[in-house]
């Protein structure tokens, strides 16, 4: 009889658990929103977009132009992230100079300047990560971490852009692209947090933030396809290059927001899990 009552009660027992799960998710969202205002995610995302556009984009254009197999890698990466095709993709390609122009006007000094300014981009990312994890500012002589982080981010974008080319129109191509972008992105942002934070946060606590970042980037891609793509086409027709730049800059702001918001969501999740274990042990 006791067994029968226990079996009868099992279906209903899932409802409180589901309600607790929804409540926990709502609490996490509210906490991320609250702490995001404290960390100033919007302002930091705007700074990320500006620094990315004036430093990393030219650097990636030079790298792509120097490649014997791919001369428009950064353009394809941006158009893919925005979900562009047709007129929208053509408008974005017009933002960048031709391959011959880039190679003929690039000097060692300009490359060095781009690298220096690129390090400043990673320094701003490091500052945001330190604010998110409530850590003190890292030592000034750890600029090598920022330079290494810049190299890692640049390499990931180049690989993600390249992954759309090999084995086109075969089943291998989507698997390659998914592995390069999704798995590669999780590994990148997991490693990038650990690197820029100076190994002051354990690896295990950083993984949820890396996963959350990639989930947010996937959501941004869907949003871009629905909103930014048609907006870019209309702006390109109405305002020309200026309209295209504004849309691309807005998308880069979204990239910065997902980068920082994903890390913040991971910290909130890990903090909640730690507190939950402490409560159960105390009980």
CA distances from 255 to 82, 94, 113 (A): 11, 22, 24
92 versus 281: which is more confidently predicted? 92
- Let me know how long the chain is: 283
| Long-range CB pairs of 201-206, under 8 A, 24+ apart, other chains included | 201/133, 201/135, 205/266, 205/267, 205/270, 206/266
State residue 260's pLDDT score: 94
State residue 276's pLDDT score: 44
pLDDT higher than 60, residue 122 = yes
Whether the predicted model's global pTM rises above the 0.85 cut: no
d(CA 15, CA 54): 52
State residue 64's pLDDT score: 62
75 versus 282: which is more confidently predicted? 75
pLDDT higher than 90, residue 246 = no
95 versus 106: which is more confidently predicted? 95
Q: What does R_g of the chain's alpha carbons equal in angstroms?
A: 22
State residue 13's pLDDT score: 53
- Per-residue pLDDT of 162-178, as tens digits, reads 777 777 777 787 788 88
State residue 99's pLDDT score: 46
Which of 141, 123, 271 lies closest to 209 in space, CA to CA?
271
How high does pLDDT run on average in the chain?
A: 78
The helix/strand/coil state of 45 is helix
85 versus 198: which is more confidently predicted? 198
pLDDT higher than 60, residue 97 = no
Q: What confidence tier does 71 reach under pLDDT thresholds 50, 70, 90? A: very low
d(CA 58, CA 240): 20
For the record, the structure tokens of 165 come out as 């080319």
d(CA 61, CA 94): 13
Q: What confidence tier does 67 reach under pLDDT thresholds 50, 70, 90? A: low
Give the residue carrying structure tokens 């890292």. 138
d(CA 150, CA 143): 11
Which of 60, 36, 38, 80 lies closest to 212 in space, CA to CA?
36
134 versus 99: which is more confidently predicted? 134
Which of 34-38, 85-89, 254-258 is predicted with the least confidence, judged by mean pLDDT? 85-89
Which of 27-36, 95-104, 244-253 is predicted with the least confidence, judged by mean pLDDT? 95-104
Average pLDDT over residues 4-20: 57
- Please state the three-class secondary structure of 89-102 as a single string: HHHHHCCCCCHHHH
CB count in 10 Å sphere of residue 138: 19
State residue 160's pLDDT score: 83
State residue 188's pLDDT score: 95
């Amino acid at each position: 009889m006791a067994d029968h009552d226990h079996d009868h009660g099992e279906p209903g027992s899932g409802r409180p658990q589901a309600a607790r799960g929804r409540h926990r998710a709502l609490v996490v969202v509210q906490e991320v929103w609250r702490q995001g205002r404290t960390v100033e995610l919007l302002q930091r995302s705007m700074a990320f977009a500006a620094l990315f556009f004036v430093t990393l984009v030219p650097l990636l254009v030079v790298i792509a132009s120097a490649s014997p197999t791919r001369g428009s890698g950064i353009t394809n990466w941006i158009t893919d992230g925005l979900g562009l095709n047709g007129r929208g993709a053509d408008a974005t390609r017009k933002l960048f100079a031709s391959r011959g122009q880039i190679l003929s006007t690039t000097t060692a000094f300009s490359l060095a300047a781009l690298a220096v300014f690129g390090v400043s981009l990673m320094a701003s990312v490091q500052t945001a990560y330190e604010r998110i994890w409530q850590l003190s500012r890292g030592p000034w002589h750890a600029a090598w971490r920022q330079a290494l982080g810049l190299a890692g981010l640049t390499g990931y974008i180049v690989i993600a852009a390249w992954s759309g080319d090999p084995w086109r129109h075969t089943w291998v191509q989507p698997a390659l692209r998914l592995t390069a972008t999704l798995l590669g992105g999780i590994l990148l942002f997991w490693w990038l947090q650990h690197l820029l934070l100076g190994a002051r946060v354990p690896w295990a606590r950083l993984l949820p933030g890396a996963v959350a970042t990639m989930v947010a980037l996937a959501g941004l891609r869907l949003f871009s396809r629905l909103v930014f793509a048609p907006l870019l086409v209309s702006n390109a027709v109405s305002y020309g290059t200026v309209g295209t730049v504004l849309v691309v800059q807005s998308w880069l702001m979204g990239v910065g927001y997902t980068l920082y918001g994903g890390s913040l969501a991971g910290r909130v999740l890990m903090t909640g899990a730690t507190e939950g274990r402490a409560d159960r042990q105390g009980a």
